[in-house]
Amino acid sequence: MTAYTATVTVRLKRGVLDPEAETTKRALDRLGFELDALRSTDRYEIDLDAADADDAAERAGEMAERLLANPTIHDYDVEVEQAE
């Protein structure tokens, strides 16, 4: 078994309203910053032991499906790196 860090990025699907990001963007506008758009995403860095990188990615993907992402409104992707 090897130690890996799987990073799961969860973002809203295109077209799903993101009031938190809208509010953040408006606050930045009000502070005088110029920006065209702002999107927010959640990232989970998961340390786990796995036989290989594919196994780690598969398990992190299952965690996303079961708990971290809501498939109705979220897309997610998984990246795996061997832990130092």
Quick one: which of 2, 16, 33, 82 contacts a second copy (CB under 8 A)? 33
Is 84 an interacting residue with respect to a second copy (CB under 8 A)?
no
Question: Quick one: DSSP state of residue 15?
Answer: T
Of residues 41, 45, 46, the one with CA closest to residue 13: 41
Of 14, 15, 19, 37, the residue at the interface with a second copy (CB under 8 A) is 37
Residue 45 as a binder of a second copy (CB under 8 A): the answer is: yes
Please report how close the Cβ of residue 70 comes to a second copy at its closest, in angstroms: 14
Dihedral, CA of residue 31, residue 32, residue 37 and residue 41, to nearest 10: -30
- Which residue ranges make up the site for a second copy (CB under 8 A)? 3, 9, 21, 24, 27-28, 31, 33-49, 59, 62-63, 66-68
